[in-house]
Structure 1
């Protein structure tokens, strides 16, 4: 999986994108929750930037799936930790958590995979609770 500069908008957006696709079902409600709260501007991406990060993530996962012969096996704990380690700035971490939570809650169902990513972020970033929706 490619890496991004630490604390870059792309590194932050990739974590949200990973949560978005983690359960294998990207719903319209999830996308509306992100774009309705202006994710690209809030994270610092140019218009269309979130879709590009999402596309790049899918490419990376497909390449890893080809090597391992299974898509779900392309993200392990070490890979997830490395992706999370690219965001170290607390305000950016809170922004990522805010959007990840918005996406996870948008369809009124938090899948096990989404919960795994949220727990990993909270643990690695030593955050005790999700930022308030506002």
Structure 2
């Protein structure tokens, strides 16, 4: 797969594309969510640039034969590590993880393959703490 400059809008958009395409298809609800939340603007891209990047990502996946079984993550560990390494900025990592989680939930079903991409992001970026809310109320002991 092609590489993008570290922390570039294209590198960030590809992580989003990984999430959207992990289960083998891009659900219309995911595209609607992208539009409704102005994700292209949040990433510093035009809408057409984001959609073009998503289409290019899908073409790349087909060319390298990654879409084999939609029930498992279509990306090997090395590929995920290489793609995740293109995002180095801690604030961008946190923001992008939040976008990816919301995108995966947009169709009201998080596929196993989508979950695998999210887990890879958390692990590669060291964001395990970001998954635990520190402002959650404590449970009363009984």
Interval of TM-score (by shorter of Structure 1 and Structure 2): 0.7 to 0.9
Asked if the contact 1:10–1:53 (Cα under 8 Å) also holds between the matched residues in 2, the reply is: yes
Give structure 1 stretches of 5+ with no counterpart: none
Kindly state the Cα deviation for residue 131 of structure 1 after the two structures are TM-superposed: 9.2
Determine if contact 2:24/2:67 at 8 Å carries over to the other structure: no
Structure 1 residue 72 and structure 2 residue 68: aligned? yes
Structure in which a larger fraction of residues adopt helix: 1
1:58 and 2:58 are equivalent in the alignment:
yes
The aligned counterpart of 2:90 is 90
Q: How far 1:45 sits from its partner (Å)? A: 0.8
- Cα distance change, pair 131–89 in 1 and its aligned pair in 2 (3 A): farther
Say which one has the larger Rg.
2
- 1:1-134 alignment runs, 5 A limit: 1-65=1-65, 71-72=67-68, 75-128=75-128, 129-130=130-131
Aligned length: 128
User: Which ranges of 4 or more aligned residues in structure 1 deviate by more than 4 Å?
Assistant: none
Post-superposition Cα deviations, 1:20-40, rounded to whole Å, max 9, x if no partner, equal 011123212111112211111
Uncovered stretches (5+) of structure 2, i.e. residues with no partner = 134-142
TM-score normalized by the length of structure 1: 0.87
User: CA-atom RMSD, angstroms?
Assistant: 1.9
Cα displacement (A) at 1:130: 4.2
